[in-house]
Structure 1
Amino acid sequence: MHTGPALDALSAVDKLRFSQYGCGPTSTPPFQCVHHAFSFHSALHPDDLAVQDVSDAITFTQLDRQSTCLASRLRVEGVGPGSRVCLLVERSISMVVGILGILKAGAAYVPCDGKVVSDTSLEHILKDSESKVVITLGKFFHRVSASKLPVIFLDKPPPCACSTGNLCSKPEDRSSPDDSVYVIYTSGTTGIPKGVDVLHRNVTNLVCLVPGNLGMAPGVRVSQLMNIAFDMAAWEILGSLCNGATLVLRGQTSKEWRAAMRTADVVIGTPSMLAPHDPADYPNIKTVAVAGEACPRAIADSWAGHARFYNCCGPTEVTIVNTMHLHSPGRSLSIGRPTPNNNVYVLDERMNPTPIGVPGIMWAGGECVTRGYLNLPDKTNERYKVDPFMNDGSIMFNTGDLGAWRPDGTLEHLGRIDDQVKIKGFRVELDGVAVAMETTDGIIAAAAMLIDGELWGFVTPDCVSEDEVRIATAKIQPYYAVPTHIVALGSFPRTGNDKTDKRALRQLALDFRNREKAISVCEKQLEPLVTSRIANGAAAGPQTNSSSTSSLTIAHTVEEVKTDKVSDTAASPVFLIRQPSIVDHSKGLDAPMPSEDSASSVELKTEAVFREPWDGYEKDVLPDKLQGKTVRNLRHQIFSLYRRLFGVVFVTNMAIFITFLIRGGADAQRLGLITLANLFVAILMRQDYVVNTFFNVFCAVPPSWPLSIRRVCARVYHIGGLHSGCATSGVIWLALLCGQATREAIHGGIVSHASVATVAISYSILLLLLGIVIFAHPSMRSKRHDSFERVHRFFGWTSIILVWSQVVVLTNDYRGDQSLSHALVHSAPFWMLLVMTGSIILPWLRLRKVPVRAEVLSKHAVRLYFTYSTPIPGSFVRLSVHPLKDWHGFATIPVPHEKGFSLVVSKAGDWTNSRITDPPSTVWVRGAPCFGVLRIVPLFQRLVFVATGSGIGPCAPCILEQRVPIRLLWTSPNVRETFGDKLVDEILGASPGAVIYDTRKHGKPDMVKLTLRLVKEFNAEAVCVISNQKLTQKIVYGMMSRGIPAFGAIWDS
């Protein structure tokens, strides 16, 4: 495979996977033409059954003779290589004879089902294909009599050599692999049907190689269920002929259909075709392959438990299918990998490969790519392009399907490009909605359609609960992609190609809308009458609830009116309508629904009930907590990772401390080194660049890694435990240093000893550090934050000056015969102190005043806009009006693909209140944006965010980035009034499924229960909480104790 500039944007891993995943295995088909493969097996097994009908059968020898006779007749009519012959038939042995005879003549067959194809389509196909001859049955002659083309009847063969016992002369074989084998005309749902020109080598590359041959071989029986005009019928028919298998034709009735399936080893069909069948009824079936439409997981699991089940994909233009997936029950369902000698590329709009997991358009290359569309050069040039990733001039085809590579090298089908619709301004994949509906228990199949601006969902069977469908869909799809109307059918109408007939579904929906309007008018006219009946007791029944009684009465009366006033539509299906806001119809009229195979009763149900995401959550049953109460409290509350890190550092230091005491202690110089080492680590663990480095390293773990690893890496923000542990230990070591220095100053040492200056400086530093530690305690810091800031800053700066003095004086005390300068540069404390000082000074070197644009959102919040930097989502900046007095940290909100960022300042004290009432035009900033807890977002595949009030600030950038699917739970009084429409709309635009809970209107919720509901509905891997200390700890514990990874800010540091 050629690797050029198109791959430059990919990582090294994705480049490798592009080649590994995109190319199918290389293999040479044993035959290059379909009829050559048939002739081989016919000579090898002449007496085997080639085709079996309901009441007849034909051997390979008989089929060979009859098809040869037909080929000779076609040659007489001038048919040869490059010719096309229209085959207007129905499913029969004669149909197979016709196919093989045309191929032996060197021509391509153009299949049409005489019972299905419309007159308009047939007229177009005859003209567009330039068929030289029509091969048909006597019953269909009237359909082609006006074409003036030569007609050959398969059921009325003329006298020939075969009728006298002699063999017809076999026509000269002039076929090549690049000759056409058949021309399939698409259904024409988007316009005039297009003829796809398929070559012999295209077909043999699929049906003569594993896995496309599906195990077909002599003695194997292959069912023929598909309509001949559907290219999957070619897989059945040509696959069987090419592999010496027996083709079993189904009859017209469902009984004959099942009889054919009960004798088959291999079945090829659409998921809709298999849906009504129970695999347990067909123990004979060994291999099943489905394609043509999205396969529901339930069908795949059901059949895969009884046979080898292949889920396949590929449009007609790439020869039936070009990807196949052998499914196992309970495993993820995909469309698999490229078949032999074929390639699949997932490309963006600029024709560049997308990274693993990123959706794009699927392009197909290799031996599967057909010649193009008949007589449509512009359309062919639009969809067929030279393959830029191969150096052989081969062609690739734009399938129009959306897909993405999974990490395991299989393809995930994401629907059609033309199935993308806009709903409420948001892009929606209709196939994705259908897949979401299919997750409902009991659903066999589902479809979604946009009809008159509303999203309709169709499901089967008709016994499912609309509420369950809606709830299951909402777990996966955002609110705007949950169907407004749910229609339950006993079975889906099907096209002649055995696909779901979406035109029929659309018409059913439109018919319903018309009836709904008529019934609404009737109800309004009857309301006075109903009221009168209820008042007079006419509707009395066993019910005691007055609303139930009135509903039943109205329903009954409406049915009467429907019978009287809407009788002109009685021949069409009648629908059951549920409109709780008006009436609950308990019954509906049943009428037969016309169907191709049988007349079945169809009942349409629809509801328009709006449900809030939190409705009924109080009744949700919480999962049991894991482990015993004592163990989980120790693990998740007392010994958090932060405290464990603190403990490791502290215990290690104390072990050394005790060891020194047991061994008689250490001199002041050694104690000074240990003290400074602890303070060195403590300061570095609070340095912006060091913190950012830790986050970048741990958050670089790919989201494809096991969750057990990622959840540990996500706790990188607990590194503050190292800071606190070292700082506390440093103070204790400093106290020991003070004691040892005092003893040495009084009693002196053997060689060297601490001076009085060292003692004085050490005690001064100890007092300052004790002040910092006291104000840094969480309880003190929360109450006196401004005092903590000032003490931490000024005591810290004073301490660092005194530590320089201490290092110089202490080094001088113990330098012996060395010069002071020599002793300093050769001592570890000097260099550690130099790094410490640089670490403290560095952010202040980046102190600057920057312009700011303020947007007052309300009397409670202001949004500030900056352009001096574009930070990464999950970071925060420090702002100040008086740099030496106080600093305040705020989460940044960068806008994707734009320079700059914004942040939200909400009312939480004097400083923030001043910024709201008197918005600044400039503010001071220092250092670099520093990462916070939400920097961990890229580690996960799906997340639930929980924010209260202004906690939306840190959450907003991660939501707006849309790098990871996020479901937001935001509780706050009237968010639009507080934070403004712009911010709220931005968040809803990026996360339309966001749940905004107005605490002023609904009261305070049970956050644990509500969060668990969203986690379950959204299938989230983890939860991130941005709230106050009490609520954060409650939610994090509520999740963690139930095995759900949860992350929130740390208040211990």
Structure 2
Amino acid sequence: MSLQSRDTVCFRLVGSVRPAASPLWMSHATKPFALDAVSWTAIRMSRACASYEHSCVSVPRLSRLRGLRCCWLSPTRTASRRFSPLIDRNRGSIDAARNAQQRRVSIRLDVSAVVWQDPLGNARCFSGKVAHLEASQHAWLPTDATAWPPSSTSLSSRFSPGAFVDKVTAPGAMDTRVAAIDHLSPDHQRLFIEFGVGTRQSPEFECVHHAFEARARTQPDAIAAEHLGATITYSQLDRFGNRLAAKLRGMGVKPGVRVCLLVQRSIPMVVAIVAILKAGGAYVPLDGSIVTKSTLDHVVHDSGSLLVLALREYQHRVQDIPVLTLDDYADGHGTGDFIKPGDLSSPSDSAYIIYTSGTTGKPKGVDVTHRNVTNLVCLAPGNVGMGPGRRVSQLMNIAFDMAAWEILGSLCNGSTLCIRGKSSKEWRAVMKTVDIVIATPSMMVPHNPADYPNIKTVATAGEPLPPALPDAWVDKSGLSRWTTGCGPTEVTIVNTIQPQVKGSDMSIGRPTPNNNVYILDENLRAVPIGEVGVMFAGGRCVSRGYINLPEKTQERYKLDPFMNDGSRSYMFDTGDLGRWRSDGTLEHLGRVDDQVKVKGFRVELDGVAAAMETCPSVKVAVALLVDSELWGFVTPSNVDVNAVLEATAKVQPYYAVPSRFVVLADLPRTGNDKTDKKALRRLALEKIEDEKAIIVDEKENSPPVSLPTLFKDSPAAEPVVTKPAPVYNGIPLQGDMYLQRNASDDPSKSDQSASVSSTEISPSSLEKGNAWDGYQEDALPEKTQGKYMRNLRHQIFSLYRRLFGVIFITNMAIFIFILARGGANAKHLGLIVVANLFCAILMRQDYVINAFFNTFCAVPRSTPLWIRRICARVYSIGGLHSGSAISGLVWLIYFTGQATKEMLTGGPTSVATVVITYWILLLLLGIVAHAYPTVRRLKHDRFEATHRLLGWSATALVWVQVVLLTNDYRQVGQSLGHALVKSPPFWLVAVMTGSLILPWLRLRKVPVRAEVLSNHAVRLYFDYVTPKAGSFTRISESPLMEWHSFATVPEPGKTGYSLVVSRAGDWTSKQIAEPPKELWVRGIPTFGVLRVVPVFRRIVLVATGSGIGPCTPCILEQRIPIRLLWTSPNVRQTFGDKLVDSILEKAPDAVIYDTRAHGKPDMVKLTYRLVKEFDAEAVCIISNQKLTQKVVYGMMSRGIPAFGAIWDS
């Protein structure tokens, strides 16, 4: 063996002794045996390695053993290796020391299992005074102890036991120098080990389900999870998990087998996780409500899942692989026993597979073991205070690894998992009841700490932490409630944690127990303490690698040269930049791929963002390099960009200060609730393209819009405030700012370098980018049927016309049948006329319409799609109305002829009856003529007036006709009253009249609160009733003359509703110019086409202009996932920030297309793209008649269910 000066060899403690009382021993705060072991080890090392000057020896902290750190080699591990002669020669010394202490020293056979207990910062250096001990003080010390060379008294180098554990016990280890740190000074070597090695502790459990089962035994009646009022105890969860685990085992689930979990936040989700782990498998979590079909297919195939365990509502999304319905096993019902299958799991088995977001390609599956998980959640500080009696929120997407921190951490520690609902109201309600919240920093930005005094700990990770955020979260005693951590998915959620974070002194903390952090250069050599390098993670946190990606695994997972103990330990290249601070905590400095060159200087983008966040008014900041320019994105919307410039310039050199700024109300989010930097980059590129277009337009002297003036070619130009063209909006923004600096300006030298102008930055483009980019090049699939067949099916014979045809053909068949049999008298024909008019009028009655909608929309979402798409066309029941009305008119013509004939031939029909009949016929002909679609569309006000006034008149005359005709045909001696009671037409007309009168009985004048949104729209608020989403109401200033229908906009949790009136004629213009204080209403809110939205699992909702009104309640209600496409010019100017913000709060991925900036889109292509991206089942559209028909036909003809108004009234 050849060891050079300053080499380090490390040993592991294999036994412990009790403290002694000798003053000499106590002067070192140690034990006599440990003191002698140091002497022996140092001497023998100096004998074996003549040039070895710095022997570093260590023991863990035991009892009062604080200052001295020493250890000796395990004979059982070294007997057959080159160092064994040293052990053999001194085995007697070990025995003598053990006997002198009168206590047996335990020799561990598996030294790799030794648990190191000493926090690194608690130890003091041992000064090496052992070199001056006299042999007489230790009769059993080796007699050559005094021969220790005086030059080797520098035994003071402190050693931490974790980083090079058992280096000498590995095969050939004594022949291998630890070259990765030998270039560091002794002090930096010591700090490299002290700072980088976490404490060594043993978690109580090494398998996740073992920890849960222990909690179920000790606290069976404690609540394990709760969701929207439903709860499940630990004993119930254990039993249900056992039953499902037995089913899974029977299907082949065991260690090494993976099960795809397709769920959403719910108690069944928790049951499924427990069951899969009990069966020995690993779960692969996906959120069924948002995962795209392409991702689902990739994950199922790539993970090699044996089966998919899915909620019933997501079963239809899985193909070509067995699916087990989770709902059948998530409660006490169903079949099967509750006996746990045999436990086959070991700590090294997979617990779950998390697929990363895949922003740079296809998602990568990370294989995480039980030992990885329990090492975090079963030890402090990774358990973040979880324990019995504590309540833990479950906010994260289950496909995000931080969800495992919430779920598995809570179950392993006996806490109650509080699962949030879908709405922000339900989200906040959960947060008001919990003790511990785990989230990303940006998820916590909207929340006021004062609203949540109950929260004891907020643990965040996943993205940089703005300094201002943790300072607001302090308890009454002034202690921070904020804990932050850092670590990618590959190192099991987090591998460093910093409790009680202060914004003024932020770090990502220290390595968690049994884990290591190394700061290395590009050659995998340790950098000096305080210098920047790449963070590598080692220890128990390191996962097993990527699924089916051996090259990628080899690239990122490397053998750990500091833990070469024969077990092939690995360290993971996190790609994060960091450095050690003097207090032993880590400072995170962004990503390696966030290092950019600006003006030839290397710049850390996260460092620039952190500098912007030093401005007190900035909540969150992001820096990006786009087209060689440094861009800054900051929130909230009221930030003073000059203040941001000034704050950034104080921290960063001039070249690292952004030259362009965008101020937003909120930053876009990814599906994992991280900042969407790709969306921000797209936004910047959009701005650049807009500016290029302006330059071209200026050359042509025809600028279409006013945009910021660019100063690159004229540095001396005065700042000019201009208003750029709106892009399109998608997340709440108010007063967004756009700023550009002269690239040559140094903000530290000049405060006149910026121009600021307001803009309507497209927040929805921030969320997902320009959803329409390149859509014109998309190839629409072929229509599913030939031209003639699809036109017959979807246009000529629409469901409305088919219903019309059924009624009309049925009537005509009866008509022909009666004629063939010689005809019928006026009495029988009158009954048929009245019956048809009865049906026609009832099909326009509010209560009847609502009954139809409620019945057909009650179909469960588990019903096959072909059934649901038929039920959803319930809004076509107008075909029954028109079919009955036209049939009634035909029968009335027949009746008129028969009555006239009877009158002329001396039959029972009287002249009065015939006269009234002709008047009725004339009125009905007038009604039908004005109801003809072309006339109705061109003269809609006249249509409504004639329908109402002529209809009332005709109804009154029908009463007269029924009485006269009954009198004409009554039997001799029978009174008229008795004849009427026995007459079916009398009762039909009575019910018919009642249905007409009923809405007018609810006629009333109600107060209105108006909010003028713009010169194009006004929002009216009512509080007399709270309707359901998808309904409309009628309002009027002159109830006898005109009524106007508008969609109601109820808001969840609030009483009343609102409606949006946009400029579309004289009446609407008047409401905008002179907002009313009172209006007439009648009847009840009646359902329309959007009542069918909940029938489907996922839909694309299309609105143009004020069509957003009917869509808004469906979006706010959040009953199902909805992707909104809204095309309109200047939505914020037209409809106001309040309405737009409320929509975007619930639909942050909305696509809002500004037609004034981009022109009219191809709605069929754009809608089809969104349908495929969103994996939607159907499309609903609210627009004008022409566009509605075009989009509905374009979707239906390609096999996609589509629904829109049919203008039948």
Question: Residue in 1 aligned with 2:1003?
Answer: 847
Output the amino acid matched with 1:627: Q
Question: Residue in 1 aligned with 2:462?
Answer: 449
**DSSP 3-state at the match of 2:1013:** strand
1:664 aligns with 2:681: no
Question: Residue in 2 aligned with 1:863?
Answer: 1019
**DSSP 3-state at the match of 1:903:** strand
Against the structure 1 CA distance between its residues 766 and 860, is the aligned structure 2 distance closer, same or farther, given a 3 Å change threshold?
A: same
**How far apart in 2 are the matches of 1:192 and 1:828?**
92
**How far apart in 1 are the matches of 2:999 and 2:955?**
16
Against the structure 1 CA distance between its residues 834 and 778, is the aligned structure 2 distance closer, same or farther, given a 3 Å change threshold?
A: same
Question: Residue in 1 aligned with 2:1193?
Answer: 1037
Query: CA offsets, 1:14-53, max 9 Å, x none?
Result: xxxxxxxxxxxxxxxxxxxxxxxxxxxxxxxxxxxxxxxx
CA contact (8 A) 1:864 1:904 kept: yes
Output the amino acid matched with 2:1200: I
Shift in Å at residue 967 of structure 1?
1.0
Q: 2:1147 aligns with which of 984, 991, 999?
A: 991
Q: 2:799 aligns with which of 634, 638, 641?
A: 641
Question: Residue in 2 aligned with 1:966?
Answer: 1122
**DSSP 3-state at the match of 1:397:** coil
Q: 1:289 aligns with which of 269, 281, 285?
A: 281
Question: Residue in 1 aligned with 2:147?
Answer: none
**DSSP 3-state at the match of 1:835:** helix
**How far apart in 1 are the matches of 2:1195 and 2:76?**
60
Shift in Å at residue 998 of structure 1?
1.1
Question: Residue in 2 aligned with 1:892?
Answer: 1048
**How far apart in 2 are the matches of 1:419 and 1:635?**
51
Please provide the CA RMSD for this pair: 5.6
Shift in Å at residue 289 of structure 1?
3.2
**How far apart in 1 are the matches of 2:1184 and 2:1059?**
19
Counterparts in 2 of 1:102-181, with a 5 A limit? 120=119
**DSSP 3-state at the match of 1:451:** coil
Output the amino acid matched with 2:119: T
**How far apart in 2 are the matches of 1:786 and 1:1046?**
29
Against the structure 1 CA distance between its residues 964 and 710, is the aligned structure 2 distance closer, same or farther, given a 3 Å change threshold?
A: same
Shift in Å at residue 384 of structure 1?
8.8
**How far apart in 1 are the matches of 2:1006 and 2:962?**
38
Question: Residue in 2 aligned with 1:397?
Answer: 414
Question: Residue in 1 aligned with 2:948?
Answer: 793
1:697 aligns with 2:855: yes
1:382 aligns with 2:389: yes
Q: 2:933 aligns with which of 778, 791, 803?
A: 778
Against the structure 1 CA distance between its residues 204 and 954, is the aligned structure 2 distance closer, same or farther, given a 3 Å change threshold?
A: closer
**How far apart in 1 are the matches of 2:75 and 2:920?**
99
Query: CA offsets, 1:596-628, max 9 Å, x none?
Result: xxxxxxxxxxx9998311111100110111011
CA contact (8 A) 2:259 2:307 kept: no
**DSSP 3-state at the match of 2:1010:** strand
**How far apart in 1 are the matches of 2:945 and 2:856?**
32
Question: Residue in 2 aligned with 1:422?
Answer: 442
**How far apart in 2 are the matches of 1:662 and 1:831?**
29
**How far apart in 2 are the matches of 1:802 and 1:723?**
20
Unaligned stretches of 5+ in structure 2? 1-72, 80-105, 124-155, 171-194, 215-253, 261-278, 288-294, 311-317, 331-336, 342-373, 393-410, 423-435, 448-459, 468-484, 491-534, 546-570, 579-586, 604-626, 629-654, 657-677, 689-764
Counterparts in 2 of 1:582-981, with a 5 A limit? 611-749=769-907, 753-817=908-972, 818-981=974-1137
CA contact (8 A) 1:89 1:113 kept: no
1:1048 aligns with 2:1040: no
1:519 aligns with 2:563: no
CA contact (8 A) 1:116 1:496 kept: no
**How far apart in 2 are the matches of 1:502 and 1:904?**
56
Percent of pairs identical after alignment? 51
Shift in Å at residue 301 of structure 1?
3.5
Shift in Å at residue 895 of structure 1?
1.1
Shift in Å at residue 1052 of structure 1?
3.6
Shift in Å at residue 398 of structure 1?
3.6
Query: CA offsets, 1:645-699, max 9 Å, x none?
Result: 0000000001111111111110000000000000000000000011011111111
CA contact (8 A) 1:944 1:1020 kept: yes
Shift in Å at residue 709 of structure 1?
1.4
CA contact (8 A) 1:761 1:802 kept: yes
**DSSP 3-state at the match of 1:780:** helix
Query: CA offsets, 1:702-745, max 9 Å, x none?
Result: 22222111111111100000000000100110010000000000
CA contact (8 A) 1:89 1:114 kept: no
CA contact (8 A) 2:1010 2:1075 kept: yes
**How far apart in 2 are the matches of 1:792 and 1:609?**
48
Unaligned stretches of 5+ in structure 1? 1-87, 95-106, 125-141, 157-187, 208-264, 272-286, 313-326, 344-367, 386-393, 406-415, 428-446, 461-490, 526-549, 552-564, 567-575, 584-606
Shift in Å at residue 1001 of structure 1?
1.0
Question: Residue in 2 aligned with 1:504?
Answer: 574
CA contact (8 A) 1:301 1:329 kept: no
**How far apart in 2 are the matches of 1:809 and 1:197?**
94
CA contact (8 A) 2:1010 2:1020 kept: yes
Counterparts in 2 of 1:294-313, with a 5 A limit? 301-302=300-301
Output the amino acid matched with 2:1100: V
**How far apart in 1 are the matches of 2:258 and 2:821?**
84
Against the structure 1 CA distance between its residues 609 and 798, is the aligned structure 2 distance closer, same or farther, given a 3 Å change threshold?
A: closer
**How far apart in 1 are the matches of 2:1155 and 2:200?**
57
Against the structure 1 CA distance between its residues 303 and 1013, is the aligned structure 2 distance closer, same or farther, given a 3 Å change threshold?
A: closer
CA contact (8 A) 2:576 2:591 kept: no
CA contact (8 A) 1:401 1:417 kept: no
Shift in Å at residue 510 of structure 1?
5.2
**How far apart in 1 are the matches of 2:1099 and 2:441?**
26
- What TM-score, normalized by structure 1, do the two folds share? 0.54
CA contact (8 A) 1:288 1:309 kept: no
Against the structure 1 CA distance between its residues 92 and 504, is the aligned structure 2 distance closer, same or farther, given a 3 Å change threshold?
A: farther
**How far apart in 2 are the matches of 1:399 and 1:92?**
45
CA contact (8 A) 1:373 1:380 kept: no
**DSSP 3-state at the match of 2:1032:** strand
Shift in Å at residue 403 of structure 1?
9.0
Query: CA offsets, 1:376-418, max 9 Å, x none?
Result: 9985333499xxxxxxxx999347585999xxxxxxxxxx962
Tell me the number of residue pairs that the alignment of Structure 1 and Structure 2 aligns: 655
Shift in Å at residue 302 of structure 1?
4.4
Against the structure 1 CA distance between its residues 420 and 805, is the aligned structure 2 distance closer, same or farther, given a 3 Å change threshold?
A: farther
Shift in Å at residue 920 of structure 1?
0.6
Output the amino acid matched with 1:687: Q
Against the structure 1 CA distance between its residues 397 and 297, is the aligned structure 2 distance closer, same or farther, given a 3 Å change threshold?
A: farther
**How far apart in 2 are the matches of 1:776 and 1:197?**
79
- What TM-score, normalized by structure 2, do the two folds share? 0.47
Against the structure 1 CA distance between its residues 661 and 113, is the aligned structure 2 distance closer, same or farther, given a 3 Å change threshold?
A: farther
**How far apart in 2 are the matches of 1:517 and 1:205?**
43
**How far apart in 2 are the matches of 1:1018 and 1:887?**
39
CA contact (8 A) 2:439 2:461 kept: no
**DSSP 3-state at the match of 2:945:** helix
